[in-house]
């Protein structure tokens, strides 16, 4: 069976839709409750590499914490941004699906199908 991880927020409709899509294809993902157990800096770096994104592209820039923490400051380096996502996981875009060496952000949820 295919190993699939879902970085999941059960209160997010897109995250729930991604889970439903996976299950509809007979896949039971390992659910990562990233709000309860934030990804480490190393895990976030791996996700960024798999997604081929820079940190701000993985951040929810409309979150209040983004403004409060001054994360729009262009002088912040990659490490500072990744550490901010580790400390404040609600800043991380969701859902994220990882399958093998591929990952996708489920916005829209159907975007995850490209990596399965």
* Catalytic residue IDs: 12
DSSP class of residue 52 equals T
Dihedral, 94, 99, 103, 108 alpha carbons, nearest 10: -50
Rounded CA-CA distance 39/7 in Å is 9
Q: Which of 51, 33, 43, 60 is nearest to 111 (CA)?
A: 51
């Amino acid at each position: 069976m295919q190993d699939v991880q879902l970085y999941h927020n059960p209160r997010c409709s897109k995250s729930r839709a991604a889970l439903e899509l996976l299950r509809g294809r007979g896949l039971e993902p390992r659910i990562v409750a990233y709000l309860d157990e934030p990804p480490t800096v190393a895990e976030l770096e791996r996700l960024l590499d798999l997604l081929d994104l820079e940190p701000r592209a993985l951040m929810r820039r409309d979150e209040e914490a983004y403004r409060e923490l001054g994360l729009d400051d262009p002088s912040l380096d990659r490490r500072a941004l990744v550490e901010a996502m580790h400390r404040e996981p609600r800043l991380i875009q969701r859902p994220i699906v990882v399958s093998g060496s591929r990952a996708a952000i489920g916005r829209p949820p159907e975007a995850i199908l490209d990596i399965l």
